[in-house]
Amino acid sequence: MTQDDFKFITGMTTSYTDEQWNQILQSASIRLASFLCLDELPTPLPADLEELLANFIAGVISHQGAGAEIESKQVRNFTVNFRESTAANAFALIAQQYGDTIERWSECELGVHVSDKPRRCCR
């Protein structure tokens, strides 16, 4: 995927060098493949998987260098500060928006497997 392809899919303009873009693309491809429980993404990328990868990259870029959000909680006479990853929230949103594509390409075994054999009990 080129930066022009990325711009076409996401509408985001980037100005990375070819070396920087390849590093971002490689890292995002590895993370997405891992997320989908694949050894690697298929080549060439089908259109729906390319769109998912582009938006996965957009999530990384949009939170690049952004500080974590801080939420303060006061408990009796002291305050506790929690840091929440905004990037994690972005990936959760991508997973929500592209659930059909993720389900189609995911090799992860999720959910409960129920045996079709009748249950038997000892006497």
Reported as a single tens digit per residue, the pLDDT across 90-120 is 677 788 889 899 889 999 875 444 455 555 5
CB atoms closer than 10 angstroms to residue 40: 10
> What is residue 92's three-state secondary structure?
helix
Cα distances (angstroms) measured from residue 104 to each of 36, 48, 83, 100 = 10, 10, 33, 6
Domain definitions of the chain by residue range: 3-105
Res 71: pLDDT: 58
Q: Tokens in use for 12? A: 């985001």
pTM above 0.85, yes or no: no
Place of tokens 């582009």: 54
Task: Find out whether 66 and 60 touch, Cβ atoms under 8 Å.
Answer: no
**Residue 3 to residue 16: CA distance in whole angstroms:** 8
Locate tokens 């929230």: which residue? 89
The two tokens of residue 40 are 């690697």
Question: 46-86, pLDDT tens digit by residue?
Answer: 999 999 999 989 987 876 655 555 556 565 665 655 455 55
